[in-house]
Amino acid sequence: MRKWLQAHRVALGVVSIVLVVLAGGGYVVGTALGGPEEPASAGPIARGDLLYVDLAGGRDRVRKTRLDRPDAPSAATELRCQRVYSASGTTVCLRLAGPGPNYEAAVLDSGNQVIRTIGLPGVPNRARVSESGNVVSWTTFVTGDSYLTPGGFSTRTGILDLRTGALVESLEEFTTTVNGEPMVAVDRNFWGVTVAADDRTFYATLASQNRTWLVKGDLTARTMRGVRQGAECPSLSPDGGRIAYKKRTGRLGPWALAVLDLRTHEERVLRDTAGIDDQAVWLNADNLAYGGTPDSGKKSTIFTVPADGSAPQAVLIEEAASPVPLR
């Protein structure tokens, strides 16, 4: 047997190579042809719609359903995005742009026409548009050349003001203070912006040396200051009175979603939200939604949870990410 194998080494090698190439090629072709893609429905997105990115087909198609009836049949839009957000006619779509793979942030107007694209230095992670549609922000994860730098990562958060066209490539350009001291550490990272109704005040996350802060900033003055430690990925409620964020439940434990009342400074950790790693959105004044990993270990699922902690999280849409309520 051994002798025979050695004598026919080359022939066996060639046959095996052909088999692997045929099997792999067949698999790829089969996947490419697998199921006809649903044509995009006409009709612009409108108030009352719930947008999300459909992960099921792998096509990252943005779909829309009704905010009040998320289990109603959904329709495909023309957009393909890794992350999407939309408000008052402005849509930001973080998507694959070129070999590398590289990504870009495409900003679209109410007619779904691209008005600006900005190249991204990493993998899309957070996307937001202010309620007025004037301020667009996004965060990407910047990765090293190997799998990852040991224990390290960095983020880039950009903000685009559509009124002036001014682009902040990174929040690191802003002056930041924590506890009254200027924060100039090299390893500072920012992510997850939420802009208030005045289109000037914003909240974001600052991380440095294994600590995180909720920072409150001013887009005009280009400043930020730390207001609370340990709060990440903020999201302002529609009335601007509450702020939802994820916070660690232990030192290295999983995150949970918490809601802080900005007037009373009362914080409430929401039930059964352990493991959240997303910037939550307010579906309405009482309910939040976010992407998370279900217990089954499958792809991202969109969950919803009441903001007062009166009930545990519930599945809203399976195999989906980036919930966008068009209030």
Partner 1 sequence: MYLTRSRPDTAQQHRGRGKLPGAVFALGTVSLLTDISAEMITAFMPVYLIYTLQLSYVQFGFLDGLYNGATAMLRLVGGYVADRWRRPKLVALTGYGTSAVAKLAFPMVGASGFGIGAVLATDRAGKGLRTAPRDALISLATPPDRLGRAFGVHRSMDTVGALLGPLVTFWILHELGSRSSPVFVVSFCFAALGLIVLAAFVRERAPEPRRTEAPVSPRACLALLADRRIRRITLAAGALGLVTVSDAFVYLVLQRTTGVPFEVLPLLPLGTALVFLLAATPLGLLSDRIGRWPVFFAGHVALLGVYLMLLPDGGGYPVLVAALVLHGLFYAATDGVLMAYAGPLVPRRLRASGLAVVQTGQALARLLSSVLFGVLLAAVSVGSAVLVVLTAFVLALTGAAVLVGRKGDS
Is there binding between residue 141 and partner 1 (CB under 8 A)?
yes
Residues numbered 47-86 forming contacts with partner 1, rule: CB under 8 A: 55, 57-60, 82-83
Instruction: Give the separation between CA 33 and CA 38, rounded to whole angstroms.
Output: 13
Number of residues in contact with partner 1, rule: CB under 8 A? 74
Residues numbered 240-279 forming contacts with partner 1, rule: CB under 8 A: 252, 254-255, 277-278
Whether cis (ω within 30° of 0) applies to the bond prior to 101 is yes
Task: Give, for 6, the enclosing helix (H) or strand (E).
Answer: helix 2-7
Residues numbered 4-33 forming contacts with partner 1, rule: CB under 8 A: 9-10, 12-14, 16-17, 20-21, 23-24, 27-28, 31-32
- Least CB distance from residue 10 to partner 1, whole Å? 6
**Segment near partner 1 (CB under 8 A); pick from 144-152, 175-183, 236-244, 258-266:** 144-152
Is there binding between residue 113 and partner 1 (CB under 8 A)?
no
Tell which phi-psi region holds residue 210, choosing left (phi > 0), alpha (psi between -120 and 50) or beta: left
Instruction: Give the separation between CA 152 and CA 144, rounded to whole angstroms.
Output: 9
Q: Which is nearer to partner 1, 146 or 164 (CB)?
A: 146
Q: Which of 222, 210, 175, 217 is nearest to 193 (CA)?
A: 217
- Least CB distance from residue 77 to partner 1, whole Å? 16
- Least CB distance from residue 125 to partner 1, whole Å? 6
Q: Which residues sit opposite 109 in a β-bridge?
A: none
Is there binding between residue 297 and partner 1 (CB under 8 A)?
yes
Among 118, 258, 281, 283, binds partner 1 (CB under 8 A): 118
The alpha-carbon radius of gyration of the chain (Å, integer) is: 23
User: Residue 61 contacts by C-beta under 8 Å, 6 or more apart in sequence?
Assistant: 38, 40, 53, 54, 76, 77, 79, 80
Among 217, 234, 291, 323, binds partner 1 (CB under 8 A): 291
Identify the three-state secondary structure at position 34.
coil
Q: Which is nearer to partner 1, 233 or 242 (CB)?
A: 233
- Least CB distance from residue 324 to partner 1, whole Å? 16
- Least CB distance from residue 249 to partner 1, whole Å? 13
Among 75, 142, 256, 326, binds partner 1 (CB under 8 A): 142
Instruction: Give the separation between CA 290 and CA 229, rounded to whole angstroms.
Output: 22
- Least CB distance from residue 235 to partner 1, whole Å? 16
- Least CB distance from residue 17 to partner 1, whole Å? 6
Is there binding between residue 40 and partner 1 (CB under 8 A)?
no
Residues numbered 162-201 forming contacts with partner 1, rule: CB under 8 A: 169-170, 184-187
Among 75, 123, 183, 196, binds partner 1 (CB under 8 A): 123
DSSP string, 108-120: E-TTS-EEEEEEE
Q: Which of 64, 44, 62, 66 is nearest to 53 (CA)?
A: 62
Q: Which of 299, 235, 233, 297 is nearest to 262 (CA)?
A: 235
**Segment near partner 1 (CB under 8 A); pick from 43-51, 143-151, 260-268, 279-287:** 143-151
Q: What angle do CA 257, 262, 265 make, to 5 degrees?
A: 80
Task: Please state whether beta strands 223-229 and 175-178 pair in parallel, antiparallel, or not at all (unpaired).
Answer: parallel
- Least CB distance from residue 198 to partner 1, whole Å? 27
Q: Which is nearer to partner 1, 86 or 154 (CB)?
A: 154
Is there binding between residue 229 and partner 1 (CB under 8 A)?
no
Q: Which is nearer to partner 1, 123 or 196 (CB)?
A: 123
Residue length, the chain? 327
